[in-house]
Every structure is written in structure tokens, then in C-alpha cells.
Chain A
Amino acid sequence: MIPRRAGLIGVIVLVLFVAIPYAFAAVTGKPDEGLAGLAAWHSAAESLYCQKGLNPATLILLVETSVFGVATLAAWRAGDRMGAPGAALRGDGWHLLVVMVLITAPFLIGAQTESSVCSRGQAFFWESVLIDAFILAILSISYNLLFGFTGVVSFGHAAFFGMGAYTVGLLMKHADAPWWLAILGAIVVGVVIALIKGVVGLRIKGLYFALFTLAFAQVFFLLAGNRILVDLTGAEDGFTFKVPDWLNTTQNRLLFYFIALAALAASFTLVRRLMNSPTGRVLSALRDNESRAQMIGYNTFHFKLIAITLAGILATLAGVLRGLALKGASPGVLGLDFTITPLLMTIIGGAGTYVGPVLGAFLIHLTEEALRDTVVTVGAVSLNIGERWALVLGLIFIFIVLVFPRGIVGSVQIWWARSRRTER
């Protein structure tokens, strides 16, 4: 069992992690104004953060990450001698370390490429790539909750994702809703879709349910792209909307980067907590043997409904972030692509594991970005990887399904367990 304190330690560490360089920057940036006010603090901190290349904030973040990394390693090597904090680090340390590396990443890229994290340049560009990766990772986590943990095969995840983006945009554009109300509205829509899908669809068994979700999601896609709603949705072209300055990815991308990262960390933690709870146990039981779970006396319908609703909320959240990041939405977000993508990411990463979908999303999205303009020539055939990414991905996917059906993480886990057994 992971000690309860682990989460608290994590939060404290993370707050310090950002607070220390921020305070340092504020104090050293404009010494004459000192503690004059929050605004002065903020602008002072910003002037240091945003320096091109290796700035003091970057250095502090680096030191912090290294210290924490060493501490985690030490806790892992020391075993029980470090007591409760050591146990906490052993359990959650790696995840926290990944979060810290991700917090440091834009600064590191900035230091490497002599660019600033706040304005146009390499670091700025990679921030947006990583934001996309975070969003896809949340979507995959949500897909995995249904497919990997509960065993519900659904082909309609794009409905949640797309409606998240559409609702938040429509509310902000046409109803002038404040950001929090728009997000809340989107989540309400997500819950309603999930409830309809669950209450209506779960009457239908197995494959019929999967096909029902496919058709159900397609209704939204057709409606969004149709000219009948053109004043509202802009039909095929989609629409753009204004977001508050602090959420604007062209001005304050770094902040949005942290928000998306926080959302990812929260989704990850939520699903892990859920699956370690009694409810989660029942969900796994549903996947492994539904009739037995029913026989023991669980109302499997209720538990499936819980899983669908939670997965729906997470996917909607991903869609909301996507809408806000792009400041617009078009029918593409409701299309089949956003059902297939999380499916591929989940299975390639490892369905039914916690890290799998996140790893899958990162690997796939970052590889796609890295190979954007690469041309591979084999004999007379030359292939532009960036343009043909979906093809490459499809082939990788087929390979994984045939050879490593548990995905990357699942296969590594088996290999790990096997090698440890032989050691003893």
C-alpha cells in the first residue's frame, strides 16, 4: 500500500519546486521595488523566467530536479531504512520525478537552443507540442479506464472529446460565459452524453454496444459539420473564439503548459486512486468475468455507468483543453480520428496499465513531431514520414497487436517479473 502521506509530500514538493525559483527571481530581479506588491513580484519574476538561454530559474529547477532524483534513487536503494518518507518516495517518487522533468523541460530546451520560454522560438514551439501530448495523454487515460480497466469496448470517444471543445467554445463565443462556467458547462454536457450512452446503450450487450457508440458519436460529427447549424458552429470550417488573456496560448503559453500538465497529473492520480479503491476492484472484476461479478451480487450496470461517466468527464476535459489551446473547434475533433488515436495510444502503450496510455501518447505524439520532415528512401520508394504518419502508426499498431498484445508497459512488466524470478 502506498502511504497516505505520499500525496501530501508530493504536493508540498511540487509547490516548493515552483515557488523557490519564483521567489528567487522576484527578489533578485528588481531589488529596489522589493516586496512592493504582487504585480511587481510577478513582473520581476517574469523578467527572469523569460530570459533567453540559461537563466537562474532554469538552474534552480535543474538543481531541484537532480536533488529529488537522487533522493528517489536513494530511497529506492535504501529500502525500509528511510521510514515512511522513503516508502512514499519509493511508491510515488518516479511519477513525481517525471512531473518535475516536465516542468523543467521547456526551460531546458530554452537553455539548449538559446530561446525564451515566453516568446516565439524553439522552446515556445516545443511547449505547444507537449501541450498536445498532455491532452492526448488525458484522452488515452480516459480510454484506458473503459477499455483497459473495465473491459468496455467503446468506439465513440470522439463524442466526448469533440463536444468538450465545442461546448466550451460555443459558451464563450455565443453566451459570453466566463471561463469557469464554460468549462463547467462542457463537463455537464460530457456527463449527459455519458449518461445517455450508458443508460440507453448498456441495455445492449457486447459488440452491439461498441457499434452503438460508433454510430452515436457519428451523429455529433454529422451535426457539427452540417450547414443547418452554420450560424452556430460554422459548419465544416468550424469557428474560433476569444479566451481570457491568461489562458491565451499565444501570449501565456507557459502557464497553459503548466495547467495542462496539472490536468494530466490529476487525471492520472484520479484513475490510479479509483482503480485502487473498492469500486476499482469491481471494475477490474467486470473486465475479467462479468457474470461472476454479477453472481457475487454487484449491480454491474451501475459500475459500468460509473466507469463510462468518469471516462466521459476526463475525455471532455481533454477536449476542453484542446478547444482552449487552439481557441477554436472544427468538426475534425468529433471525427473518427479522435476515437482511433486514443485506442492506438492505449494499446501501443499498454492497455490496463497506469503508465501505458501516457507513455503511448507521449511516444507517438513526440515521434510524430520529431519525424515531421524526415524522408526515408528505400530503393525507388521514398516516404515522407510526417505526411504518412498515420500509415506508419497503423503499421506499428498492427505489429504491436500481433507481437506484444500487452503493449510496451505490459510487456516490460512481464519481462521484469520474469527476470526477477530467475534472480532468486
Chain B
Amino acid sequence: MTPATPILRSNTLRQSLIVSGVFVLALLAINFVFFQPGTVAVVLLSGLYQGMLFFLAASGMSIVFGLLDVLNLAQGAFFMVGAYAGFAIYGALPEGVPLEVKFIAALAGATLAGGLLGAAVEIGLLRPLYARPVFQIVLTFGLSTAINEIVRAIYGPAGLIPINPPAALDTTFTIFGGQFETYRLFIIAVGFALMVGISLLLQRTRLGIVIRAGVQDREMVEALGINVRRVFTLVFMLGTAVAALGGMTAAPFLGAYPGMGTDFLLTAVIVIVIGGMSSYEGTAVASVLVGLTRATAEQISLQYLNTPILASVSILIFMIVVLLVRPSGLFGRE
């Protein structure tokens, strides 16, 4: 392996950004060719909101993979746990509590639940297996089945209808003649806030430095006398907490259903593969790209084929093409 010099890295980063930018421009062009301005605005916004949800599901997975070398295939399950935790908190709070309080409590509770569960999984199940990486992946696969089944056992196979967000977010507004729900703007805001927040955490804090150093060379960090094990647990917790928060953020819109985890897992996998597995910037950019692609393809197929089929298929094809052109993802290093 050749050591990556800083100059080379920033060059490839710039290249990747240019490629991504061109891709976004192409998507915009397709949008303006095919749709009315009102539809374009709605498609772009819903692409962004989907992208942010994907980011919430995928970012933890990417950081965890970068640092721990564990591909957490249970990430979707944590996303789903977040949504169900939100429902549980809504149900547990008494009647008189205002919706705003319930909502914030649900967001906080879901994040906490995801984090605690994540810590338990890392300490109890993953720790014994760092010597056998393949089994870690396989284990998280099995774990996601188990979590799905537990949820199914408690809440039944049918989904729950979406919970009510606070009144202020439960409205729609008009943009260029297209209708758009305010709540989706909230999702975009949450996603963007976390995107910036995690980036600041990685760039500006001591923990962030340790994480970034660990992604580059774990042994070296250990040699410097840092307890990497504890950082592992912390990072895994962080990843699952963000996923759970994402699930809860999606709950007023998508509800909660047992297949939710698998759906988001698959999309998260696509996002991190396109972004380049362990690259945080890559995951952030790729989630927006995937969201926009999905929304555009969905609108096209609804308009011309009368079914949303292209929505899921387009991102799969997107991933396969990226893998063929750049086998290590848009922002990945060889």
C-alpha cells in the first residue's frame, strides 16, 4: 500500500466533488426537461428529504466501518428501533402532555434507546469477534433478524400509523405551485444539522481526531496510548444513536413497520458503497445524490409508467454503475 500524501488526497477529493457536482447538474437538467417548475421544486425537496433520512441511516455505518472495520448490517434494525421507541414514548406519556413535549421526548428517547442498545451490542456481541471479521458481519446480519422478530412479536406484523408531529410542523406550503409538507423540511433540517454536527465533531474535537486517526491507522493510535476499545464503543453508540434518531424523525411520515429496517439497510448500504465505505464526506454527498436520483426516477416512472418501480431500481443501478467505474466508490481510496 502506498502512503497517501496530503496533496494527492485533496486532489482526489476535488475530483470526486467535481464528479458529484456534474451528476447533480445532470439530474437538475433531467428534472427541468421532464417536469413543470412546481414539480421540479417538489422533486428536489423530496429528494433532499429522502437523502437526509438515508444519511441518518448510513452515516453511523460508514464511520463504524472506517474505524472498527465492522460492517454493521443491523443498522437498519436500529433505525427501526428508533421509530418504535418513538411510538412507545408517545403511548407512555399521559393524555394531557402537549404534542411538542411528546415529540421532543420521543426524539431524545429514541436517540438514547438506540445508543444504549448499540453499546450493549458492541460490548456484548462484537467485542469477542474482532479477531474474526467475517463473523462480525454475519453476526450483525443475524442480529438484525432477531431485532426484527422481537419488534414483530411485540407490535405485530402490521405497521403502525404515523404519529402526529407538533402542530407547527403538521402543515403544508406551496412552492412554485407545488404542495410540500412542512414536516419534510424539518427532516431536511435535522439531517443537515447532524451532517454539520458530525463533521464538526470529526474535524474539531479531540475525539474526532482520534476517530480520524483510527480510520487511517488503528495500531498507531493504540501505540500512542489511546484506549481504542473505549473509542470503539463510543463510536458504535454514536452510529446507532444517529440511526435511531433518524428512525424517529421518519416516524411521523412513514410510521413504523417491521420491514422498515431492511428497506433502510439496503439503501444505507447503497449510499455507503457509492460514497466509498469509510469516507464520511463520501457518505454525506452520496446520500444526497441517492436521494435526488431516487426522487427524480420516482417522478419519471410515476408520470410515464404509472408505478414507482424506478425509484428503487434506479439507485441499485446507480450503485452498480459506480462500482464498475470506480470499484472503491466515489470518495473511496484504493
Interface size band for A: 35 or more
A226 touches B146 (CB 8 A): no
Q: Cβ of A200: which chain B residues have Cβ within 8 Å of it?
A: 320, 324
A383 to B316, CA, bound (A): 38
The reply to whether A204 and B327 contact each other, CB–CB distance below 8 Å, is yes
Contact with A along B251-286 (1 / 0, CB 8 A): 000000000001000100110010001000000000
Is there a chain B Cβ closer than 8 Å to A266's Cβ? no
Q: Is the CB of B328 within 8 A of A208?
A: yes
Q: A233 CB to closest chain B CB, in angstroms?
A: 13
CB of A204 within 8 A of CB of B323, answer yes
User: B250: CB under 8 A from chain A?
Assistant: no
**Interface flag for A212 (CB, 8 Å):** yes
Question: Is residue B238 contacting chain A, with contact meaning CB distance below 8 A?
Answer: no
- From 209 to 263 in chain A, residues with beta carbon under 8 angstroms from any chain B beta carbon are 210-212, 214-216, 218-219, 222-223, 226-228
User: Does B197 sit within 8 A of A, measured CB to CB?
Assistant: no
B277 touches A401 (CB 8 A): no
CB contacts (< 8 Å) of A388 on chain B: these are 149, 153
Query: Knowing A388-B153, A397-B142 touch, does A205 contact B128 (C-beta < 8 A)?
Result: no
Asked if A8 CB lies within 8 Å of chain B CBs, one says no
**B149 with A214: CB separation less than 8 A:** no
User: Given the interface contacts A216-B320, A388-B149, A405-B135, does A222 sit within 8 Å of B269 by beta carbon?
Assistant: no
B231 to chain A, nearest CB (A): 22
Taken together as a complex, chains A and B put the C-alpha atoms of A228 and B306 apart, in Å, by: 9
CB of B145 within 8 A of CB of A340, answer yes
Residue from the list B128, B137, B153 in contact with A391, Cβ < 8 A: B153
Contact (A203, B142) CB under 8 Å given A208-B273, A219-B316, A222-B309: no
A254 to B22, CA, bound (A): 62
A398 touches B312 (CB 8 A): no
Cβ–Cβ < 8 Å partners of B277 in chain A? 207-208
A330 to B40, CA, bound (A): 37
B128 touches A203 (CB 8 A): no
Give the one of B71, B145, B262, B319 with max A CB within 10 A: B145
For B139, B148, B317, the residue with the greatest tally of chain A CB atoms inside 10 Å of its CB is B139
Does B230 lie at the interface of the complex (its beta carbon under 8 Å from any beta carbon of A)?
Answer: no
Contact between A402 and B129, CB atoms less than 8 A apart: yes
Say whether A215 contacts B327, CB under 8 Å: no
> Is B44 among interface residues, defined by CB-CB distance under 8 A?
no
Q: Would you give the shortest CB distance from A223 to chain B, in whole angstroms? A: 7
Chain A, residue nearest B150 (CB): A391
Enumerate chain B residues within 8 angstroms of A390, measured Cβ to Cβ: 145-146, 148-149
A394 within 8 A of partner (CB): yes
Q: How many A-B Cβ pairs are below 8 Å?
A: 105
1/0 contact trace for B286-326 toward A, CB 8 Å?
Answer: 00000000000000000001010100110011011001100
Interface size on B, residues (CB 8 A): 39
Given contacts A215-B320, A219-B313, are A226 and B307 in contact (CB under 8 A)? Answer: yes
Closest A residue by C-beta to B147: A394
* Contact partners of A223 in chain B: CB under 8 A: 309, 313
Q: Digit string of B130-162 for contact with A (CB within 8 Å is 1, else 0)?
A: 001011011101110110111001000000000
B139 touching A398 by the CB < 8 A rule? yes
Q: How far is the CA of A388 from the CA of B148 in the complex (A)?
A: 11
Q: A393 contacts which chain B residues (CB < 8 A)?
A: 145
Cβ–Cβ contact B129 & A401, under 8 A = yes
Determine if A2 is an interface residue (Cβ-Cβ < 8 Å). no
- Over the window 181-220 of chain B, the binary record of Cβ atoms lying under 8 Å from chain A Cβ atoms (1 yes, 0 no) is 0000000000000000000000000000000000000000
The 3 closest A-B pairs by CB, nearest first: A394-B146, A391-B149, A397-B142
Q: Name B's A-contacting residues (CB within 8 A).
A: 71, 125, 128-129, 132, 134-135, 137-139, 141-143, 145-146, 148-150, 153, 262, 266, 269-270, 273, 277, 305, 307, 309, 312-313, 316-317, 319-320, 323-324, 327-329
Contacts A208-B277, A218-B266, A219-B317 known; 13 new A-B pairs at CB < 8 A: A203-B323, A208-B273, A208-B329, A214-B266, A215-B320, A222-B309, A222-B313, A228-B305, A228-B307, A228-B309, A390-B146, A401-B129, A401-B135
Which residue numbers of A lie inside 8 Å of B, CB to CB? 153, 155, 200, 203-205, 207-208, 210-212, 214-216, 218-219, 222-223, 226-228, 336, 340, 343-344, 347, 383, 387-388, 390-391, 393-395, 397-398, 401-402, 405
17 cross-chain CB contacts under 8 A = A153-B134, A200-B320, A200-B324, A210-B137, A215-B316, A216-B320, A218-B312, A222-B313, A228-B309, A340-B145, A344-B142, A388-B153, A394-B145, A398-B125, A398-B139, A398-B146, A402-B139
